[in-house]
């Protein structure tokens, strides 16, 4: 596994990391066994960064059990938002949310506490006195998190918040993969200027880079021109000495502004496949005809 600097945090994180949204796996009767197997195997293969959120079902509880007794170092990030219903993004709600996450995870401190979907909070609630940012700073002061970050798909707002210099990390999802470079146009340059650590998630784009699911993924693209362009990119990716999912991960890792690509694997087979991308050479966009 290769490692990269998580921006100004100075943390060295695995090029491929794991997300907590699908740890429960496909078998409802074996969710803890599946989560524990995934987490332990990921750590064994060199992963040291794990991202989760209260929104992800029982993910924090599953991770808390899976990480019991683990001795090797790891960095865990979680988020505030969505829970409880009607979450108001105010200072005290932020603190209650982080305290709850720490209890479920069995940890004393998060590596990163993030705002989940910054558009739901909105600029005013984030920066106002007694707002989200103040709550995150209070959590840092209490020793509940080392760093703070932002997440979402609201590209203009993400870039605006990144430009403040207040946040250490940024997570983008769905908006950066071989067929779509939306996050690369404004968000990544702004994050790089602030030396933020960048996590790229959902780079398989809902199956677009999974054999047998491409047509479903292509159907979600905006028009036939975009679908035609993407078919060409998929054909080029298949020429690589890596599987389609691995090639998608390699493409995103070809951007040195990205610190880690988060895997949403739900099974050991899925996990092991994409983790191998962390040992492969990155695949810069120019090599597959992507600007």
| Average pLDDT, 10 consecutive residues per value, the chain (291 residues) | 97 97 92 96 97 94 95 95 90 97 97 96 96 98 98 95 98 94 94 98 92 82 83 92 95 96 95 95 74 59
At residue 289, the pLDDT reads: 62
At residue 191, the pLDDT reads: 97
At residue 288, the pLDDT reads: 66
At residue 167, the pLDDT reads: 98
At residue 220, the pLDDT reads: 77
d(CA 99, CA 91): 12
Secondary structure of the chain as H, E, C letters: CCEEECECCCCEEECEEEECCCCCCCCCCCHHHHHHHHHHHHHHCCCCEEECCCCCCCHHHHHHHHCCCCCCCCEEEEEECCCCCCCCCCHHHHHHHHHHHHHHHCCCCEEEEEECCHHHHHHHHHHCCCCHHHHHHHHHHCCCEEEEEEEECCHHHHHHHHHCCCCCEEEEECCCECCECHHHHCHHHHHHHCCEEEEEECCCHHHCCCCCCHHHHHHCCCCHHHHHHHHHHHHHHCCCCCCHHHHHHHHHHCCCCCCEEEECCCCHHHHHHHHHHHHCCCCCHHHHCCC
At residue 183, the pLDDT reads: 94
Q: Under CATH, domain 3-277 is a member of which superfamily?
A: NADP-dependent oxidoreductase domain (3.20.20.100)
Q: Exposure string (b/e) for 127-148, b if CB count within 10 Å is 16 or more?
A: eeeebbbbbbeebbeeebbbbb
Q: Where are the domains of the chain?
A: 3-277
At residue 226, the pLDDT reads: 84
């Amino acid at each position: 596994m290769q490692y990269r600097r998580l921006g100004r945090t100075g943390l060295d994180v695995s090029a491929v990391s794991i997300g907590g949204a699908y740890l429960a796996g496909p078998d409802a009767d074996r969710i803890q066994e599946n989560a524990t197997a995934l987490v332990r195997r990921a750590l064994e293969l060199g992963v040291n960064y794990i991202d989760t959120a209260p929104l992800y079902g029982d993910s924090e509880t599953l991770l808390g059990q899976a990480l019991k007794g683990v001795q090797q170092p790891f960095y865990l990030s979680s988020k505030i938002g969505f829970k409880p219903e009607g979450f108001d993004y105010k200072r005290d709600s932020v603190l209650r949310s982080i305290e709850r996450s720490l209890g479920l995870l069995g940890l004393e401190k998060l590596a990163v506490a993030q705002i989940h979907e910054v558009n739901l909070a909105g600029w005013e609630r984030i920066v106002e006195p007694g707002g989200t940012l103040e709550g995150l700073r209070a959590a840092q002061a209490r020793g509940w998190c080392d760093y703070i970050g932002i997440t979402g798909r609201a590209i203009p707002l993400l870039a605006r918040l990144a430009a403040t210099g207040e946040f250490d990390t940024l997570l983008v999802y769905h908006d950066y993969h071989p067929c779509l470079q939306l996050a690369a146009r404004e968000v990544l340059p702004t994050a790089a200027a602030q030396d933020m650590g960048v996590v790229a998630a959902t780079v398989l784009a809902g199956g677009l880079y999974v054999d047998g699911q491409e047509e479903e993924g292509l159907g979600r693209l905006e028009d036939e021109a975009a679908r035609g362009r993407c078919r060409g990119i998929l054909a080029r990716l298949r020429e690589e000495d890596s599987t389609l999912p691995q090639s998608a991960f390699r493409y995103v890792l070809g951007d040195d502004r990205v610190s880690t690509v988060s895997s949403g694997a739900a099974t050991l087979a899925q996990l092991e496949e994409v983790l191998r991308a962390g040992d492969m050479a990155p695949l810069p966009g120019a090599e597959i005809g992507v600007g």
